[in-house]
Amino acid sequence: MSKENIIELADLTTGYGQHVVTSHINAVLRPGQLISLLGPNGVGKSTLLRTLGAFQPPLGGQIRVGGKPVEEMTSAQLSRIIGVVLTERPDIQNMTVRDMVSMGRSPYTGFWGRLTTDDEALVDEAMQQTGVAPLAARMINTLSDGERQKVMIAKALAQHTPVILLDEPTAFLDFPSKVEMMRLLGRLAHQMQKIIFLSTHDVEMALQLSDSLWLMTKEGITTGPPAQLAQDGTVARFIQCEGVEFDAATLTLRVG
Amino acid sequence: MNKKIQILVLLGLLVALLGVANILWGSVSIPLRDVLNILAGNGSPEHPSWEYIIRESRIPQVVTAAFCGAALSTSGLLLQTLFRNPLAGPNILGIDSGANLGVALVMLLLGGSMTLGSVSLSGYLLIILAALAGACAIMALLMLLANYLRSPIMLLITGVIISYVTSSIISMLNFRATEEGVHNYIIWGMGNFSAVTAERIPLYTALISLGLLGALLLIKPLDALLLGDSYAQNLGISIRHTRNRLLLSTGLLTAVTTAFCGPISFLGLAVPHIARLLLRTSCHRILMPGTMLMGAALTLLCNLLCTLPRSGSIIPINVITPLIGAPVILYVILRRKDAKY
């Protein structure tokens, strides 16, 4: 794989103002992988995602995309590298699914934001890949949470970025939708050679469906493939909760 | 898309139609033939006053009302998108209360000492300048705060507080002013499209066109802003830059209309909703021209209704606008009871 689309976190420290949340993170994100960020509430998952998404500056260290530090990039350049799906749900009247997915083309459109036929084709493609094409004419405020989430992923796909960050995309979804969502994201990562990085609380699903895990605790972040982290006991230590047993062979949890 | 453009064209025709209607009808009854003669430049030998009414009163009034409606509605649309709040309007930021305060200072503190008969040209100019100064002062304050108050809710609260403070100062001025001063101020407060005379039209239209142009240039970032600040930023939009330009545009539109026509209530809040209902889109490329045209049409309609009774006198515009605006807003609130604000 070319170095072009690799994201490196070099001695990264995240936080707000004077307040350090996580320090000295060293890790690499590789294309073609679905990467899940797991960790208890308040440990700093959202802060890390916000820092990666360039919504807030790092307190120390660097994020490099293809060897180039993010702080040297303009917001226009960044908008073509990183797409996001956030927890906030846009509640907009009179906006169709197609309009929403089209917003993903904004970094490429001209001054008035008009779509070319190429843009339209990419919007169609993004809607097909996420299975929301049949909803194209629906108003987004009439969608279910799962449908809306897929539309936002389609928006990120239309943005044509090598990286997509998702903040808890499976929260508030019913179980089948959670599975569908994770499988969809995995497929997109593998087929399109994208870096798909998401935070989640669904430990089991992350263990079974991700290519790589980032386990975040107060002490720091441990990264690696799920099978490896399961074998060396990291996952068991990470879960470490009374009444829950972790089976490293099957990557499942047992309560009892 | 094509259907929406057809609706825009129809709205344009409606504006033209209502404009003509406003020239034909007024508090003074002038026969259609004479109106056409005067418009054709032939004049009206028997009734020189009719020519004056058409040329110096009705035509400037049509232009004033149309531009005022477009300006206030656009400024309402900008604010509703900025705050993602359907109840935002041009007076929510307290810009028009700034203009109000400027006018009150002149009318109640300075103008109050003048005799009623001496409301001369210089008096009018003074009022307009004071309103502009007041509105611009609030605008500057908001621009200063915009960088600190990142949360739209904080901005809304700030607007409300500004309104409270200005209205308290105005009440104090009212208390100390003479009867005539208070009377003049109340008349201005009722809103009036006849204040812009023919020779002031170029300045008035130029200033408003500038504000409308500023709004049109924001079409693309406005669409992105609908998704929320974070999504917009991720799409490469500079939030601070957009917000400042938006404030400048809204401020200019609100200040100029308030200075020239008085505070016109409800239009800025209601028209964007009517345009949305009609066009069924949130895309500003369609919605903004639609809002401008709808604003012009509705204001011309209100102006027409003001003069319809033909009693020789004219009803203040602010008596009519809430009658049209309030039901629309009520409808919006009731229809969206499940949506969060």
Q: State phi, psi for B70 to the nearest 5 degrees.
A: -60, -40
Closest CA to A169 of A142, A147, A138, A191: A147
Write down the pLDDT at residue A1.
43
pLDDT on residue B129: 74
- Round to whole Å and give the CA distance between A63 and A80: 16
Residue B169 has pLDDT above 80, yes or no: yes
Cα A135 to Cα A128: distance, rounded to the nearest angstrom: 10
CB nearest to A93's CB, from B237, B282, B285 = B282
Q: What is the pLDDT of residue A183?
A: 93
Structurally, what CATH architecture does the domain formed by B2-335 represent? Orthogonal Bundle (1.10)
Give mean pLDDT, residues B95-116.
71
Whether the CB-CB separation of A5 and A31 falls below 8 Å is answered with yes
Residue B269 to residue B44: CA distance in whole angstroms: 42
Per the prediction, chain B carries an average pLDDT of: 82
* Contacts with B281 from chain A: Cβ below 8 Å: 94-95, 99
Strands A163-167 and A82-85: parallel
C-alpha B170/C-alpha B173 separation (Å) is 5
How far is B195 from B197, CA to CA, in rounded Å? Answer: 6
B280 lies within 8 A of chain A by CB? yes
What tens digit of pLDDT does each residue of B198-244 get? 888 998 999 899 999 999 999 999 999 999 889 999 999 998 889 88
pLDDT tens track for A71-83: 889 999 999 999 9
* Per-residue pLDDT reduced to its tens digit, B283-299: 999 999 999 999 999 99
* Confidence tier at B95 by pLDDT (50, 70, 90): confident
Q: Do β-strands A212-217 and A195-200 pair in parallel, antiparallel, or remain unpaired?
A: unpaired
pLDDT digits (tens, 9 = 90+) for A85-97: 998 877 788 899 9
Residue of higher predicted confidence among B138 and A122:
A122
Give the separation between CA A38 and CA A52, rounded to whole angstroms. 16
Please give the residue that has the higher pLDDT: either A102 or A3.
A102
Closest alpha carbon to B296 in B282, B275, B313: B275
* pLDDT tens-digit map of A211-244: 999 999 888 899 999 999 988 888 888 887 777 8
Selected residue of B151, B218, B234 to mutate for chain A interface (largest A Cβ count, 10 A): B234
Rounded CA gap, B151 and B155, in Å? 7
Tell whether B276 is within 8 A of chain A (Cβ): yes
User: Is B161 in contact with B142 (CB distance < 8 Å)?
Assistant: no
Q: Does B230 touch chain A (CB under 8 A)?
A: yes
A43-59: pLDDT as tens digits: 999 999 999 999 999 99
Is the pLDDT at B175 greater than 80? The verdict is yes
Q: Which two tokens stand for residue B177?
A: 């002013």
Q: What is the largest CA-CA distance in chain A?
A: 60
Q: Please determine, for residue A5, whether its predicted confidence score (pLDDT) is greater than 80.
A: no
Two structure tokens written together for B187: 């008349």
Q: Are strands A195-200 and A163-167 parallel, antiparallel or unpaired?
A: parallel
Question: From CA B136, how far away is CA B130, in angstroms rounded?
Answer: 10
Residue A240, Ramachandran bin (φ over 0: left; ψ between -120 and 50: alpha; else beta): left
How many angstroms separate the CA atoms of B226 and B232, rounded?
A: 8
- Which of A81, A94, A101, A114 has the most B C-beta neighbours within 10 Å, making it the best mutation to test the interface with B? A94
The answer to whether the CB of B219 falls within 8 A of the CB of A113 is yes
Q: Taking 80 as the threshold, does the pLDDT of residue B109 lie above it?
A: no
So what's the pLDDT on residue B117?
45
CB contact under 8 A, B285 and A113: yes
Of residues B279, B256, B216, B9, the one with CA closest to residue B129: B256
- CA B65 centroid distance within chain: 9
Residue A101: predicted pLDDT = 96
Residue B310 has a pLDDT of 58
Long-range contacts of B271-277 (CB under 8 A, 24+ apart): B271/B69, B271/B72, B271/B73, B271/B76, B271/B77, B271/B295, B271/B298, B272/B73, B272/B76, B272/B77, B272/B80, B273/B86, B273/B328, B273/B329, B273/B331, B273/B332, B274/B298, B274/B328, B275/B73, B275/B77, B276/A93, B276/A94
pLDDT value for B113: 41
Work out the percent of chain B whose per-residue pLDDT is above 90. 30
- In angstroms, the separation between the Cα of residue B3 and the nearest Cα of chain A is 15
Number of inter-chain CB pairs under 8 A, A vs B: 81
Cα–Cα distance for residue pair B307/A176, rounded to 1 Å: 64
Instruction: Please state the pTM of the whole predicted model.
Output: 0.87
Structural domain spans, chain B: 2-335
How close does chain B come to A83, measured CA to CA in Å?
7
ipTM: 0.92
User: How far off is chain B from A175, nearest CA to CA, in Å?
Assistant: 26
Sign for the CA dihedral angle at B101, B102, B105, B111 comes to negative
Region B3-9: mean pLDDT is: 94
Radius of gyration, alpha carbons of chain B: 20
Calculate mean pLDDT across residues A201-206.
91
The answer to whether B109 contacts chain A (CB < 8 Å) is: no
B87 reaches A (C-beta below 8 A): no
Query: Tokens standing for B185?
Result: 């101020």
- Cα dihedral A81/A85/A87/A89 (nearest 10): 120
Beta bridge partners of A166: A85, A198
Q: Closest-CA residue in chain A for B234?
A: A79
Cβ-based neighbour number of residue B100 at 10 Å: 28
Measured between CA atoms, the residue of chain B closest to residue A89 is: B227
**Chain B environment of A159 (Cβ under 8 Å):** 235
Torsional class of A190: left (φ above 0), alpha (ψ -120 to 50), beta (otherwise):
alpha
Q: How confident is the model at residue A32 (pLDDT cuts 50, 70, 90)?
A: very high
Q: In this structure, are residues B114 and B126 in contact, taking their beta carbons and an 8 Å threshold?
A: no
- Judge whether B235 is closer than 8 Å to chain A, CB to CB: yes
pLDDT number for residue B115: 38
Summarize the confidence of residues A192-218 as an average pLDDT: 93
User: pLDDT digit string (tens) for A148-172?
Assistant: 999 999 999 999 999 999 999 998 8
Distance from the Cα of B10 to chain A's closest Cα (Å) equals: 21
pLDDT at A252: 84
Amino acid found at B118: S
Arithmetic mean of pLDDT, A5-26: 90
C-alpha distances out from residue A83 to A146, A152, A153, Å: 19, 10, 9
Q: Does B117 touch chain A (CB under 8 A)?
A: no
Q: Is B330 on the interface with A (CB under 8 A)?
A: no
